Amino acid sequence: MFRRISKVGLYLFYFLIASVVIVFSISNRQTISLDLFPFPFTLDTPLFFFGFVSFSLGVLLAGLYFSMKNMRHSLRYKKESKRKQALENEVASLRAEALSLTHVNELTKKAS
């Protein structure tokens, strides 16, 4: 039931975002001129286009930042997992060796 509620909440959130985007687009239809200073280009586009571009660029850069941060943590986790497995293997081999030495000691005590 919780998944269904969270899914409905997510759809409501998407609807809210879409509504805000539509209202922003309708209210900012006027054309503005953007001069790209060192280059001889001038862009004449609606104002909401720059809002969408800047928002999209922010989402893209934030996604790139967090994916790089996540990659660093996943590589560290992978390295630590390999180290943990190597240590577990070493412990298992040392236990087996200790068990065999104990068995040999018991046999030598029985033989003497």
pLDDT, tens digit, for every residue of 40-97? Answer: 888 888 888 888 888 889 989 999 999 998 998 899 999 999 999 999 999 999 999 8
Q: Is residue 34 part of a domain?
A: yes
Identify how many contiguous H helices and E strands the chain contains and give both numbers. 2, 2
Output 5 or 112, whichever has higher pLDDT: 5
Task: Report the domain count for the chain.
Answer: 1
**87 is a domain residue:** no
pLDDT at residue 110, rounded to an integer: 73
> For residues 110 and 102, what is the distance between their CA atoms, to the nearest angstrom?
12
- Residues 33, 47: Cα–Cα separation, whole Å: 9
Range of the domain at 52: 2-82
Is 9 within the bounds of a domain? yes
16 in a structural domain: yes
